[in-house]
Amino acid sequence: MALLGIIRRWHIRDQIPLREIARRLGISRNTVRRYLRSEVTEPAYAERQTASAIDKYALQLSSWFKTETDKNRKQ
């Protein structure tokens, strides 16, 4: 669920104070205040680009899985 949407809904519709919102969500009051003042609909975070340890072996693993699916279940 969108954190910013939750914060705005609680503050505007439910009239929950900033301190209570921060306590419920486990974030600081300044963060809640900053989200309410911002014009942004959702905070944008950079997408992580990490290589997996098995990327080198992906082709070999997929071929093994394909051969295993062709075998009978009892084998």
The tokens describing 74, both together, are 């009892």
Rg of the chain on CA atoms, in Å: 23
Say how far apart CA 61 and CA 24 lie, in whole Å. Answer: 44
Q: Is residue 31 part of a domain?
A: yes
- pLDDT of the chain, 75 residues: tens digit per residue: 488 889 999 999 999 999 999 999 999 999 999 988 987 766 667 787 888 888 889 999 999 999 888 888 776
Residue 32, domain member (yes or no): yes
In a domain, 14, yes or no: yes
| 48 within domain boundaries | no
26: domain range?
3-37
Closest CA to 30 of 7, 12, 1: 7
**Report field, pTM of the whole predicted structure over 0.95:** no
Domains held by the chain: number:
1
Identify whether 50 is part of a domain. Answer: no
Tokens 């969108």 sit on residue: 2
Separation CA 4–CA 16 (nearest Å):
14
Is residue 43 in some structural domain?
A: no
